[in-house]
Amino acid sequence: MEIGFYHLTRSTLEQALPKLLGRVLALPGRAVVLCGNPERVAALDTSLWLSTDPDWLPHGTPATGQAELQPIWLTAQDGPPPNGARHIFLVDGAASAHLAEYDRGFDLFDGNDDAATAAARARWKAAKEAGHVLTYWQQGAKGWERK
């Protein structure tokens, strides 16, 4: 599995996540967004409905139900992809024991938070030791830059 580590330095998760999810939907693909807690699920749910770029990100949460119908599923509970997703987004340092069930992972972390950056380095090391193909992306003046 390929895991891309996305180092947020110029925008917040709420600003960066919609564009990345939009790219997955355009494939066409489905995604699971695994959050660190239920409060983040609720906040991202609202944020995605208010997104203007892209302006339509159909999604659901455990509160709305019907995961199998949702192109994007937001959750704080790890498990097999309930919506047939092949892409998983890990936010807030969330980790999944089901990575093998996905084709691609996105680990987004706040580069302005020293603890989040240190935790991302530890996740990178563990993913590398597990044999995953890793890429590192950092926000630059013109968007995402592969390092």
Tell me the per-residue pLDDT of 65-119, one tens digit each, with 9 for 90 and over.
999 999 999 999 999 999 999 999 999 999 999 999 999 999 999 999 999 999 9
Q: For position 95, what pLDDT does the model report?
A: 94
- Those residues with Cβ within 8 angstroms of residue 103's Cβ, 6 or more apart along the chain or in another chain: 1, 2, 86, 87
Tens digits of residue pLDDT in 27-48: 999 999 999 999 999 999 999 9
Q: For position 142, what pLDDT does the model report?
A: 86
Does any domain span residue 144?
Answer: no
pLDDT at residue 10 is higher than 90: yes
Does any domain span residue 141?
Answer: no
As for how many domains the chain has, the answer is: 1
Q: For position 143, what pLDDT does the model report?
A: 87
How many CB atoms sit inside 10 A of residue 87's CB?
22
| Token pair of 30 as six digits | 């489905």
Q: For position 141, what pLDDT does the model report?
A: 85
C-alpha angle with apex 134: 131 to 139, nearest 5 degrees? 160
Q: For position 125, what pLDDT does the model report?
A: 96
Q: For position 99, what pLDDT does the model report?
A: 94
pTM of the predicted structure, to 2 decimals: 0.96
Q: For position 105, what pLDDT does the model report?
A: 98
Q: For position 74, what pLDDT does the model report?
A: 98
Structural domain span for residue 45: 19-99
